[in-house]
Amino acid sequence: MMVTVLAFVLTLAVLIVVHEYGHYRMAVACGVKVLRFSVGFGRVIWRRQRDADSTEFVVCALPLGGYVRMLDEREGRVPAAELDRCFNRKPLRHRVAIVAAGPLANLGLAVVLYAASNWLGVNEPKAVMSAPAPASLAESAGLRAGDWVRAIARPEGEWQEVRSLADLRWEVTQAALREEPLRLSVTDRDGRGAREMQLDLDRVTTGEVDATFMRAVGIGPGFSEAVLGRVAPGGPAAAAGLREGDRVLSVDGAPVADAQQLREKIRAALQAPAQGQGASAVEQRWRVLREGGEIDITVRPRVAEEAGGRLTARIDAFVGRPPEMTKVHYGPVEGLWKGAVRTWEVSVMTLRMLGRMLVGEASIKNLSGPLTIADFAGQSVQLGLAYYLGFLAVVSVSLGVLNLLPLPMLDGGHLMYYLFEGVTGRPVSEEWLARLQRGGIAVLLAMMSVALFNDVARLLGLH
């Protein structure tokens, strides 16, 4: 818990400081006097100011945002000698640059963070497929357990290497949001038997980009052999006589290709409750390879309750071995270029998903709030620096894109006002500004409420 809290606070601090520093540096460059640079809101807990004419830097008790306060005639009387340093007196191009600098600083930070993660490198499962879910797009395309996806065809036509399962998932998500099929170049696990196939992602619904979506596509966890790991004492596996190292060849006469398929067969043992009775699990006949010989074992999984109250069947044994891993890293130039490309792709994907939510084509369950961010921050820190930098980059992109939305109270809302001023030659009236501000607050509060509800629902296992 402490790691999660500290990672969340660090994440907020970095993103807020960079965002506000973008505003601050551009304001100074445009000759605007900056009165205060604040990280957080509420009671001041730290303050630094060189002299009465310089910027006051403060840290406040509530670290959920920040602001840069500039000299402005609309906020109070300004001495005549300092009128030329007022924000409102600056040309339109300067005001646009100052407002846009915050979100652009977040996007620039994302490029650097992605690049640093690429340079450090991360260990990822190889793009070797587990058994596709029945009736999924991958199964229809002919993908099998053990197939190694080596490359994907970009929209422009050229082939791009797939370095890991995470790479493949990203390309699948991108193609689904573009409503385009995705061509794959595939070999077996040893790199032989190259062939091409196509995932018809234009036929899948992207209401939520989550595990359910990937299951419909047929992209599961990395390939793992159907070998049992630790067997818990007293559980169904131990009671049946199963041992660590047993390789499962078939269940009820049906061959088992990998650990993912074995897990599916175990879950399929769950029976719907009969009238007046609880749920139960049926017996299964397993053929197991042990010490060079094949033996038949009868297994009856137990009924277990998952988060959210859903029932499933379990055998209380670890199924499968860790997937084969690969180190994904890039050189200095390629890593920086990949960082810029990934920042652009995540920005476009975020806008597409927001647009789909706006017209009802995507679920609002995709919105995440501070609890989810804190949870992922803690998990990524424990995985290592490269993973945390990648997570920080994602949040930085989201913050940059969100602030550029044309909503009052956000930087994008102010840019919208300046667009109106540039087109008409006059600023938005005070009356309309007040109306738009009230509407913007209502929209932001609604978005925050939905995001927080989604966070709580995820923690309770309701999503």
Q: Give me the sign of the Cα torsion angle 184, 117, 347, 169.
A: positive
Q: Is 204 in contact with 243 (CB distance < 8 Å)?
A: no
Domains annotated on the chain, with CATH? 95-121+330-367+376-422 (no CATH), 125-221 (2.30.42.10), 228-319 (2.30.42.10)
Residue partners of 301: CB distance under 8 A and separation at least 6: 236, 266, 269, 270, 281, 284, 313, 314, 315
pTM over 0.75: yes
Strand 302-305 with 159-161, pairing = unpaired
Residue 255: strand pairing partners: 250
Instruction: From 174, 184, 175, select the one nearest 202 (Cα to Cα).
Output: 175
161 is known as an active-site residue: no
Q: Is 24 in contact with 34 (CB distance < 8 Å)?
A: yes
SS3 249: strand
Which tokens belong to 335?
């890593």
| Burial of residue 429, with CB atoms counted within 10 A of its CB: 0-12 exposed, 13-18 middle, 19 or more buried | exposed
What pLDDT tens digit does each residue of the chain (463 aa) get?
A: 677 778 877 888 899 999 999 999 999 999 999 999 999 888 999 999 988 889 999 999 887 788 999 999 888 888 888 899 999 999 999 999 999 999 999 999 999 999 999 999 989 999 999 988 888 889 888 899 999 999 999 877 789 999 999 899 888 888 888 888 999 999 988 888 889 999 988 877 655 555 667 878 888 888 999 999 999 999 999 999 999 999 999 999 999 999 999 998 998 888 876 555 667 889 999 999 998 899 999 999 998 887 666 788 999 999 998 888 999 989 999 999 999 999 999 898 888 877 777 766 666 666 665 656 666 677 777 788 898 999 899 889 989 998 998 888 889 988 998 998 899 988 888 788 788 777 777 777 776 676 666 656 665 555 4
**Rounded to whole angstroms, how far apart are CA atoms 58 and 38?**
5
**Following DSSP, what letter does each residue of 113-181 receive, concatenated?**
HHHHHHHH-EEEE-SBBPPPPTT-HHHHHT--TT-EEEEEE-TTS-EEE--SHHHHHHHHHHHHHHT--
Kind and range of the H or E element at 377? helix 370-383
